[in-house]
Amino acid sequence: MSLTDVTTAEFAAGTAPLSAASVGDYWALLKPRVMSLVVFTGFAGLWVAPGHIHPLLAAVAILCIAVGAGASGAINMWYDRDIDAVMNRTLGRPLPAGRMQPNEALAFGVILASGSVILMGLAVNVVAGALLAGTIGFYVFIYTMWLKRRTPQNIVIGGAAGAFPPMVGWAAVTGDIGWPSVALFALIFFWTPPHFWALALFRSGDYQKAGVPMMPVVAGPRETKKQMLVYTVVLWPIAVAPYFMGIAGAAYLALAAVLSLCFTGFSVAVWFDRTDKWPKRMFAFSILYLSLLFALLILDRAPGGLLG
Amino acid sequence: MGAMSVSMEEFLKRRKARNWAILAVLVGLCVLFYAITIVRLTH
């Protein structure tokens, strides 16, 4: 009797723990779109850090950041499978769609999280490994399990998890936590609330259905829009801080100032808008805003810099 | 939320693809660990 015959018999009897998950389902579990932004900001932290790192070890550091972020996403999907099943945006994910067993997702996430932290600690340095472990732990335990379903401040404090990657990248090169890396952390930390609340404004029905206390659901659109505006203003000094800390040049300073003003402009437009049009536009711009700021930081440090 | 039923043929196809992906990851890790060792020893 071949292995295929055994499987066929088990399959027919329904006695084996057979997984119907495809490779694509495992890939989806890693939240690739979130992962790409994390990799980008982590690379920026690594790129602007003073000092030298072997290119292979730099690639390993980025790989570990990517895998660690993906692992966090997988564990998040395992924990949130009940609310994912009632939100239109997340209904098609592998777990709520029934293409994967919950334990598979949890095991996948835990193995990847452990592997990425151990590899970072052994191949790059212990500080970077510890920061990566802290990032994963923060996202899983503090944000996903503790804050997300309890308080409208969930993404304010939970935003720290997404803000750590530049610090991890920085630590991979320097072996410590410098003030400029804290500035990059702050940039993502204070960008997260207006970014997520813009999304929540036009997806509030979904969050309400799932019982997630996002700001628009709990405090209403008016209060949410006010707080979004405040956060975009708080971002002004933080966005230009890399220039004053010596990790970016004058071109970055000028463009960061313009982009930050535009971000606030979007927030003002959202304030006056009673439809979903401007929240959607602001959400799209928020991604562009952060991507451009980090791209500028990288370009400014490239040979020749932004101004040649 | 519930288990999705797939045909035997589809199940075998997906399992084969998963196995190839695991093989690729394992080979990749072997090459990566070898390269990391060389770099750590020589730098």
Q: Phi, psi (5° rounding) for residue A100?
A: -145, 145
Nearest-Å Rg of the Cα atoms of chain B is: 18
Q: What is the C-alpha separation between A293 and A164, in angstroms, rounded? A: 16
Q: How confident is the model at residue A308 (pLDDT cuts 50, 70, 90)?
A: low
Given an 8 Å threshold on Cβ–Cβ distance, is A95 in contact with B1? Answer: yes
Question: Which residue among B8, B21, B36 sits closest to A11, beta carbon to beta carbon?
Answer: B8
pTM given for the model:
0.88
Looking at per-residue confidence, does A231 or A8 come out higher?
A: A231
pLDDT, tens digit (0-9, with 9 covering 90-100), for A216-267: 888 999 999 999 999 999 999 999 999 999 999 999 999 999 999 999 999 9
Contact A47, B41 (CB under 8 A): no
Nearest CA to A201 out of A219, A186, A187, A185 is that of: A219
Given an 8 Å threshold on Cβ–Cβ distance, is A54 in contact with B43? Answer: yes
What token pair was written down for A236?
Answer: 């002004």
Q: What average pLDDT is seen over chain A?
A: 91
Question: Which residue among B11, B18, B36 sits closest to A11, beta carbon to beta carbon?
Answer: B11
What was the pLDDT predicted at A256?
A: 96
Residue to substitute from B12, B19, B36, interface A, most A β-carbons within 10 A = B36
Helix (H) or strand (E) holding A188: helix A179-210
pLDDT, tens digit (0-9, with 9 covering 90-100), for A52-62: 999 999 999 99
Q: How confident is the model at residue B7 (pLDDT cuts 50, 70, 90)?
A: confident
Question: Side chain identity at A286, as an amino acid letter?
Answer: S
Torsion of CA A52, A56, A62, A63, to 10 degrees: -160
ipTM given for this complex: 0.85
Looking at per-residue confidence, does B6 or B26 come out higher?
A: B26
pLDDT at A276 over 60: yes
Q: What is the least distance, in Å, from the CA of B42 to any CA of chain A?
A: 11
Q: Which residue has the tokens 């570990």?
A: A64
Q: How confident is the model at residue A47 (pLDDT cuts 50, 70, 90)?
A: very high
What was the pLDDT predicted at A293?
A: 96
Q: What is the C-alpha separation between A195 and A10, in angstroms, rounded? A: 48
